[in-house]
Amino acid sequence: TDTDTADEAVRATCDDATTCKRFATSKSYWKDPYIQYFARSVGERKAPEINRGYYARVQGVNRLLDAFIRKAECDCQVINLGAGLDTTFWRLKDENLMPRKFFEVDFPTVVSRKIHNIKTKPPLSKPLIETHSTDALLLDAHSLDSDRYCIIGADLRDISSLDEKLKKFQLNPELPTLLLSECVLVYMTPSQSSNIVHWAAETFHTAMFINYEQKERFLKTGWEHADALDMMTVYSMLPQDDVARIESLEFLDERELLQQLLQHYSICWATKDRLNLGNDK
Ligand code: SAM
C-alpha cells in the first residue's frame, strides 16, 4: 500500500543519518568508535556544511542530554524515540554517565537490524552483558531487554501500544526521564506528534523532552516550560576552541551556506520539574 511505501522510506532515513555521522567522524569532527558497526563503509564524501551541521546537532543534543543525566546523578532513564542506529547508549557507558535504564524505540524492522548488529559485534554486546545481572538477556526478533539497555520495536503513532510495551520492560514513570526525538516527529502528522509529546507530559512528573528538527513545530502540550534555539545559535554557543578545531578540518568556501542551513533547524526542549532537579535551567 501507499502507507507501507511511505513508512519504508521513513525507515530508510536512519541509514542516511548513520552514514553522515560515520563520514563526519571519519574526518574527526567528533569521536564515535561505535558508528562503524552500524554503517558498513565510510561512503561517499559529504559537503563540509553537512558535516558541520551534524557536528552542531550531535554536540548540541549531547550537551543537553549529559546535563540532565548529571543533574539526576544518573538516577534517571532515557527514552530515545525513533532512535534508528544511534550510538548514545555506548557513549554514555564509556563516559560513566549511564542512566538507570536506556530505552530505544523504532519500527520493528529497524529494531531487528539493530539487534542483529548488537548480537554479532562484541564491542556492542559486551557493555550490555557487563551491566546485566542475570545470565540471559531477554531477546526476541523485535525487542532486546537487559538491565540497563532496552530496545523495542513499535510504531510511535500507536501510543497505547507504545506505553504498554515500555511498561512491560520496566519503564518507571517515577524516575526523572529524558525523552529524545531527533528528526523523527517531522515524519508524522501534527496530531500524531502532539499525541506523543502529550503522552510524555502526562506520564512523567519530572522530565525533559529534547526534539531536534526543522524549526517551528514543537508543541508545548502539558509541559511547564519550553524553549528553542536555532542551530546557528547553538553553533555559536558551543565551546569555540572546538568549533575552531572542526572549522580547520575542511575548507568551507561560503559561510553563508552553513548559516542558511543551520537556521532551518532547531533544538527544542520542554521540561517538567516536580523533583526540582533544576533541569529547566
Ligand atoms: N534519531 C536517529 C538519529 O538521529 O540518528 C534516527 C533519525 S532517522 C532520520 C528517523 C527515525 O525515526 C528512523 O529510524 C525511523 O524508522 C524512525 N521513525 C519515524 N517514524 C516512526 C514511527 N512512526 N514509529 C517508529 N519509528 C519511527
Q: Which residue has the higher pLDDT, 137 or 280?
A: 137
Bridge pairing between strands 149-153 and 206-214? unpaired
Residues 126-144 pLDDT 10s: 999 999 988 778 788 899 9
The pLDDT of residue 280: 65
Residue of 107, 158, 178, 184 best suited for mutating to test ligand 1, as the one with most atoms within 8 Å of CB: 184
> Hey, what's the torsion of the CAs at 95, 100, 106, 108, to 10 degrees?
120
Residues 240-268 pLDDT 10s: 999 999 999 999 988 899 999 999 999 99
Q: Which of 134-138, 161-165, 168-172, 205-209 has the lowest mean pLDDT?
A: 134-138
Res 11 pLDDT > 70:
yes
Q: Which residues pair with 182 in a beta bridge?
A: 212
The pLDDT of residue 2: 78
- Do the Cβ atoms of 57 and 87 come closer than 8 Å? no
Task: Give the SS3 label for residue 209.
Answer: strand
Q: How far is the CA of 197 from the centre of ligand 1 (A)?
A: 15
Angstrom CA distances, 123 to 36, 106, 198, 208, stand at 11, 22, 36, 30
The pLDDT of residue 108: 96
156 lines ligand 1 (CB under 6 A): yes
Q: How far is the CA of 187 from the centre of ligand 1 (A)?
A: 8
Round the average pLDDT of the chain to a whole number and report it: 93
Strand order in the sheet with 138-140: 138-140, 143-145, 149-153, 101-106, 77-81, 177-182, 206-214, 265-273, 225-230
C-alpha cell at 225: 516550560
Please name the residue ranges forming H helices in the chain. Answer: 2-26, 48-71, 88-94, 108-120, 122-130, 159-168, 190-203, 231-237, 240-247, 255-263
Helices 190-203 and 159-168: angle between axes, nearest 10 degrees:
40
Q: Rounded CA gap, 10 and 170, in Å?
A: 28
Residues 91-129 pLDDT 10s: 999 999 999 999 999 999 999 999 999 999 999 999 999
Residues 59-78 pLDDT 10s: 999 999 999 999 999 999 99
Q: By percentage, how much of the chain surpasses pLDDT 90? A: 83
Q: How far is the CA of 11 from the centre of ligand 1 (A)?
A: 6
pTM of the model: 0.95
Q: Which residue has the higher pLDDT, 213 or 221?
A: 213
